[in-house]
Amino acid sequence: MQGQKTAFMRPYVLLVAAVAALGGLLFGYDTGVISGAILFITKDFALDTRMQEFTISVVLIGCIVGAAGAGSLADRIGRRLTLFSAGIVFLAGALISAFAPEETTLLIGRFVVGIGIGFSSVVAPLYISEVSPAPVRGGLVSLYQFAITLGILGAYVVDYALAHGGDWRWMLGLAVVPSLILVGGMIVMPESPRYLFKVGHDSRARDELQRIYGSGSAPAAEESSIRESLLVKAGGFEVFANPAVRFALFIGIGLAVLQQVTGINTVIYYGPQIFQLAGVGSAQASILAQALVGTVNCLSTLIAIFFVDRIGRKPLLYAGLAGMFVALAALGFAFAQPHLSGSLSDIALASMMVYVGCFAFSLGPIVWLLISEIFPLPARGIGMSISTLSNWVGNFAVSQFFLTMLHSFGTPATFWIYAALCLVTIVFVRTSVPETKQELLEKISVRAVA
Ligand code: BGC
């Protein structure tokens, strides 16, 4: 325990993880900020409904493209340079969007921002996972999710603060600040020791491992497990011929898709609309309620940071998914009543908070963590790319079809469908996902289901 604490407290490792987590901050900010900005963009550029929807969703198309390319790029030019490139892309996207003279340029800017998000959603957790000592890896990768939630909350606050002047250019442009810090930070951050071993720079890799552990003594064991993992001599997609690697991919895609189809982004993207359905009077009150959702999302992630390496990934997943199930079932129940008023609307609001709070310490951080852990080194870049790509496709599908689902199935049934998918996720975790707590990254075996 003492060793764990020392490793976690090592400022060097914490700093490296925090700089990489800026990729998460930008992910959260850039996906969250559009909900407020769109009102004013619509006015300035006279957008019809179809163009409004496209302005919101074009970022997700960029995310899919970015995530698809990020893994092989990270295998080719390294983790550090890929994250550095993500920073440059974020910077370019923010500037293009903020200065867009008309709608087409804005769409290009938002697409570029999406590519940045796609890059960083693959490489930030991958990099953090690869530079973290095993005993604290879960907490450090969860820091990335914490940064996502901070970014989402920051976006709500910025949108709220700038709403009176309708300053959408500032809303989108402020992402320049964390982008610059990410770019500057990645110039001085180290390369992942695992990547260095992979490309044969052994002595630099050993130095890096030593810096990560400080005076501790893990590097020898760690080095030999990394070397063993590299014995699988296959490059690119060939490595997926191995059944164990294919099974890891099945787990990665499964977790990534389930993280989305259990409905989180209906609340993150459409929160104010749901609050209004639940009887919250004014638009102002809905936005305030949304800020509360953002705060719960952020604070509850701390539970994962502190406990994921102590009690493990799977117990937290079970607890969070059970809470999400109950909250969604209650939300459906509240909406199933003929008149949603008084205590029923309180139940609906409380259910949404519980739902987000439970996601934030389980499926939120732990999916990113597990997909950064389950692939052997030769398959890690591409495996994470494909899993993350599936996450963005799931995100796109849910956010596109949520309103249609409400109209076709009704509000209660929509939330019950998400509730049922939480049960499916519990079964998936039980039957397919290994516990990875405290394991050296290269010792994790996907066949070992605890
Ligand atoms: C998910 C996002 C979601 C966010 C909410 C992330 O882990 O991938 O889709 O918006 O959590 O905090």
Higher pLDDT, 233 or 163: 163
**Amino acid 211: pLDDT:** 86
What are the tens digits of pLDDT across the range 184-199? 999 999 999 999 999 9
- The token pair at 126 is 């991958």
**Amino acid 160: pLDDT:** 86
Of 268, 324, 353, 398, the one to substitute when testing ligand 1's pocket (max ligand atoms within 8 A of C-beta) is 268
Work out the average pLDDT over 51-59.
91
Judge whether residue 3 has pLDDT over 90. Answer: no
Given a contact cutoff of 8 angstroms between Cβ atoms, the answer to whether 78 and 195 are in contact is yes
Nearest residue (CA) to ligand 1, atom 7: 364
Of 19-23, 96-100, 294-298, 341-345, least confident by mean pLDDT is: 341-345
Nearest residue (CA) to ligand 1, atom 5: 149
Give 395 Cα–ligand 1 centroid separation in angstroms. 9
AA identity, residue 325: F
Confidence category of residue 448, pLDDT binned at 50, 70, 90:
very low
**Amino acid 248: pLDDT:** 95
Give 207 Cα–ligand 1 centroid separation in angstroms. 35
Confidence category of residue 218, pLDDT binned at 50, 70, 90:
low
**∠55-301-385 over CA atoms, to 5°?**
55
Give 130 Cα–ligand 1 centroid separation in angstroms. 21
Given a contact cutoff of 8 angstroms between Cβ atoms, the answer to whether 334 and 295 are in contact is no
Give 364 Cα–ligand 1 centroid separation in angstroms. 6
**Amino acid 314: pLDDT:** 98
Confidence category of residue 1, pLDDT binned at 50, 70, 90:
very low
**Closest to 360 measured CA to CA, from 411, 302, 418, 406:** 302
Judge whether residue 444 has pLDDT over 90. Answer: no
Q: How many CB atoms lie within 10 A of CB 108?
A: 16
Higher pLDDT, 326 or 337: 326
Work out the average pLDDT over 148-160.
94
Q: Which atom of ligand 1 lies closest to the CA of 363?
A: 7
Judge whether residue 446 has pLDDT over 80. Answer: no
d(CA 387, CA 379): 12
**Amino acid 61: pLDDT:** 96
d(CA 270, CA 394): 16
Give 149 Cα–ligand 1 centroid separation in angstroms. 8
**Amino acid 62: pLDDT:** 97
Nearest residue (CA) to ligand 1, atom 12: 149
Mean pLDDT, rounded, of the chain: 91
Residues 6+ apart with CB under 8 A from 196: 202, 204, 205, 208
Give CA separation, 316 vs 8, 119, 154, 365, 394, in Å: 20, 27, 26, 10, 23
Confidence category of residue 53, pLDDT binned at 50, 70, 90:
confident
**Amino acid 234: pLDDT:** 61
Give 419 Cα–ligand 1 centroid separation in angstroms. 17
Give 201 Cα–ligand 1 centroid separation in angstroms. 35
Judge whether residue 20 has pLDDT over 50. Answer: yes
Nearest residue (CA) to ligand 1, atom 3: 265
Judge whether residue 408 has pLDDT over 80. Answer: yes
Q: Which atom of ligand 1 lies closest to the CA of 31?
A: 10
Of 30, 148, 370, the one to substitute when testing ligand 1's pocket (max ligand atoms within 8 A of C-beta) is 148
Give CA separation, 315 vs 27, 312, 321, 371, 418, in Å: 27, 6, 10, 17, 21
Judge whether residue 2 has pLDDT over 50. Answer: no
Q: Which atom of ligand 1 lies closest to the CA of 149?
A: 12
Q: In 3-state terms, what secondary structure has residue 278?
A: coil
Higher pLDDT, 208 or 366: 366
Give 264 Cα–ligand 1 centroid separation in angstroms. 7
Q: Which atom of ligand 1 lies closest to the CA of 391?
A: 8
Q: Which atom of ligand 1 lies closest to the CA of 121?
A: 8
Residues 6+ apart with CB under 8 A from 7: 13, 133, 135, 136, 213, 214, 216
**Amino acid 39: pLDDT:** 87
The 3 state secondary structure assigned to 8-61 is HHCHHHHHHHHHHHHHHHHHHHHHHCHHHHHHHHHHHHCCCHHHHHHHHHHHHH
Of 27, 145, 266, 316, the one to substitute when testing ligand 1's pocket (max ligand atoms within 8 A of C-beta) is 145
Pocket of ligand 1 (CB under 6 A): 145, 148-149, 152, 259, 264-265, 268, 297, 364, 391, 395
d(CA 367, CA 18): 19
**Amino acid 4: pLDDT:** 47
CA torsion sign for 309, 313, 318, 324 is positive
Q: Which atom of ligand 1 lies closest to the CA of 265?
A: 10
Judge whether residue 110 has pLDDT over 50. Answer: yes
**Amino acid 214: pLDDT:** 78
Confidence category of residue 450, pLDDT binned at 50, 70, 90:
very low
Nearest residue (CA) to ligand 1, atom 11: 364
Of 3-7, 78-82, 113-117, 216-220, least confident by mean pLDDT is: 3-7
DSSP conformational letter for 341: -
Higher pLDDT, 39 or 128: 128
Nearest residue (CA) to ligand 1, atom 1: 364
Residues 6+ apart with CB under 8 A from 46: none
